[in-house]
Chain A
Amino acid sequence: MDMNPPEIRTGFAQPVDEVTLARARRGDVAAHATLYRTYARPCYTLAMRVLGSSAAAEDIVQDVFLKLMDAIRQYRGDAPFGAWLKRMTVNAAIDQLRSQRHIDPDDPEPLFANAAETGGALAADAYDVMGLLQRLPPRARLILVLHELEGYTHKELAELFGQTESYSKSILSRSLRRLQEWLRPNSADVEISPWPSRS
């Protein structure tokens, strides 16, 4: 007998039952609402982390769920539903960054040039991790969030950006070093609570 407690999954990893999916495929509004209740939070959180603006994040959630209501008929269950939805969210976030011309040049050097200029003194919100994250260039932030928080591999990032794996590795490494530099003078203060373990 399995004595292990059932794994509680959160965020995009939350499961969704087949009946809800079947109803959602038929256009059942109540099933759509169930999916929204389950996944709106991870979707909004990802958008907030990448875009740093509640208005932009709301637009992403709206776009993603409107698209979901149409595209769910094509969802065949090859990948977990949450992973499918996460991909839609990431694509929507990338589209939004592109539309705002916030997707920086491909070359990592100019990508960090502006960030270096503003990286001198810590702002008042330096202890705010979100504030720190937003100081990174958008593409660097996107790569960092996707790799470090959403579990994307460098191979997946390479496909997403049409670049090599070493490209995202380079951006990620620079982003983390930059964060480390920003934190260094205040590192004792910044350590507020332990980093939650990633399931």
Chain B
Amino acid sequence: MAEPELSLKSLRLAALPEFDPPPQLWARIEAAHRRRRQRRRLVQWGAGMAAVLALAAIVTWLPSTPTAPAAANPLAQLQRQSHELEQRYAGLEAAAAALDGETELSAAELALQRAYDRGASAEELLPLWQQRNEVLSGLIAVAADGAQLTRI
């Protein structure tokens, strides 16, 4: 006959006791939980403050960077605009046909070159860059018309 399978029940031991935790344990757990929450809040607050300080530093630092004044500097603005127009014009298929306009562009660029050579002030340079941009805008318009005509 097979031996009956052993189990704690088959050993007929006395019932294992149950245990109650000490009464003050919950107070300790609650206190530890509170401390942990405070620590987390402190860390979160610290992280928030660090973010605010970093933002403030960026805001104060931005105007002193060399690239930042470009937005407020009309001469730099015109130069950037000029560069963009130049690229747009170069990308147009009919650009090569606008010969008369290009003479105007060369004249504007020559005037600019001379102004720089004599150390002209920003006030003097501004209208020259403005002129170059107008010529370029005109050329782009003419080239675009030409392209349309070609398509018709």
Contact = CB atoms under 8 A, between A and B. Distances in A.
Interface in A136-191: 144, 148-149, 173, 176-177, 179-180, 183, 187, 190-191
A66 B30 CA distance: 8
Given A61-B25, A65-B29, A179 B11 contact: yes
Contacts of B7: 148, 176
Contacts, number: 91
A195 B12 contact: yes
B119 to A, nearest CB: 70
A149 B16 contact: yes
A66 B36 contact: yes
Main secondary structure of the interface of A (DSSP, over half): helix
A129 B8 CA distance: 11
Given A62-B28, A66-B36, A177-B6, A130 B21 contact: no
Main secondary structure of the interface of B (DSSP, over half): loop
A162 B30 CA distance: 35
A40 B52 CA distance: 43
Contacts of A45: 18-19
Contacts of A116: none
B6 A195 contact: no
A130 B16 contact: yes
Contacts of B36: 66
A62 B33 CA distance: 10
B13 A129 contact: yes
Contacts of B18: 41-42, 45
B61 interface: no
B35 to A, nearest CB: 10
A176 B8 contact: yes
Contact of A176 (B11, B19, B20, B22): B11
A144 B11 CA distance: 13
A198 B12 CA distance: 14
A144 B7 CA distance: 9
Given A65-B29, A69-B33, A183 B11 contact: yes
A180 B6 contact: yes
A175 to B, nearest CB: 9
Nearest to B22: A58
Interface of A: 29, 32-33, 36, 40-45, 48-49, 54, 57-58, 61-62, 65-66, 69, 127, 129-130, 132-133, 144, 148-149, 173, 176-177, 179-180, 183, 187, 190-196, 198
Interface of B: 6-9, 11-22, 25-26, 28-30, 32-33, 36
20 contacts: A33-B26, A40-B20, A40-B25, A40-B26, A48-B19, A54-B19, A54-B22, A58-B21, A61-B29, A62-B25, A127-B14, A129-B16, A129-B17, A130-B16, A177-B6, A179-B8, A179-B11, A191-B14, A193-B14, A195-B13
